[in-house]
């Protein structure tokens, strides 16, 4: 059964954040809020966690996982970024954008797109997600909590707990965080290509 943590949206209780991070470090799989919608998350070295995300969402090997990073310095450790892409990403973060970029050797192979060797990265503009990442000290491997057959992600923490109680180890809830996933921008070939229009305004990349 998943443990349920209800925290304040603007000032999340440090003890609860530490408890959730302990679960992540112990190779647990969590659901947590972001600035676009709820996400599933586990640590980078957690192969079982990745398999569980794939199983919950019915994902194939071509799915781009996202590294949820605390800040730009952390993001820069895991992707190769040109000067032009640097300026574009810097100006749009933190915020509801996911960027597809060539991965560095720091990223485990199983997280990469099998042909392109790319990975998704993003920096959330969300107090609770930021508190979680600061306490963890490394990126969370993440995927939007969108269940097979559903058109919109789940928005209520208690509903996620009820539906995925035996598939997750913890649910971190701070209230409604929206239903629109991030805007996804592929920068892996230098020129921005918008793969999905979502919560972030795509105009700056068009």
Place of tokens 């990349």: 205
* Whole-number Å distance between alpha carbons of 68 and 24: 14
pLDDT at 155: 85
pLDDT at 206: 84
| Both structure tokens of 128 | 């609770």
Rounding to the nearest 10 degrees, give the CA dihedral for residues 197, 175, 51, 16: 140
pLDDT at 41: 98
Looking at residue 139, the DSSP 8-state letter turns out to be P
DSSP-H helix ranges across 26-170: 47-57, 72-75, 83-92, 127-136, 157-163
β-pair type (30-32, 39-43): antiparallel
Give me the residue spans of the domains in the chain.
3-205
Kindly report the pTM of this predicted structure: 0.95
β-pair type (30-32, 170-173): parallel
pLDDT at 60: 84
Sequence-separated (6 or more) residues with CB below 8 Å from residue 66: 39, 98, 119, 120, 121, 122, 141, 142, 143
CATH fold of the domain at 3-205? DHBP synthase (3.90.870)
Residues 168, 150 contacting (CB under 8 angstroms): no
* Whole-number Å distance between alpha carbons of 49 and 40: 9
The per-residue pLDDT string of the chain (206 residues; one tens digit each, 9 = 90 and over) reads 999 999 999 999 999 999 999 999 999 999 999 999 999 999 999 999 999 999 999 998 778 789 999 999 999 999 999 998 889 899 999 999 999 999 999 999 989 888 889 999 999 999 999 999 999 999 999 999 999 999 888 889 999 999 999 999 999 999 988 889 999 999 999 889 999 999 999 999 88
């Amino acid at each position: 059964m998943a443990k349920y943590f209800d925290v304040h949206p603007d000032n999340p209780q440090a003890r609860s954040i530490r408890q959730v991070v302990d679960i992540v470090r112990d190779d647990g799989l969590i659901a947590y809020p972001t600035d676009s919608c709820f996400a599933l998350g586990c640590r980078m070295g957690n192969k079982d966690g990745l398999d569980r995300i794939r199983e919950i969402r019915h994902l194939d090997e071509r799915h781009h996982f996202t590294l949820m990073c605390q800040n730009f310095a952390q993001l820069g450790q895991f992707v190769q970024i040109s000067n032009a892409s640097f300026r574009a990403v810097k100006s749009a973060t933190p915020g509801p954008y996911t960027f597809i970029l060539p991965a560095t050797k720091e990223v485990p192979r199983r997280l990469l797109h099998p042909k392109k060797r790319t990975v998704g990265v993003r920096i959330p503009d969300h107090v609770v997600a930021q508190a979680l990442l600061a306490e963890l000290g490394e990126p969370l491997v993440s995927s939007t909590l969108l269940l097979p057959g559903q058109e919109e992600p789940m928005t209520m923490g208690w509903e996620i707990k009820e539906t995925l109680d035996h598939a997750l180890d913890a649910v971190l809830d701070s209230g409604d965080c929206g239903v629109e996933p991030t805007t996804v921008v592929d920068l892996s070939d230098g020129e921005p290509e918008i793969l999905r229009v979502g919560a972030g305004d795509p105009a700056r990349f068009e």
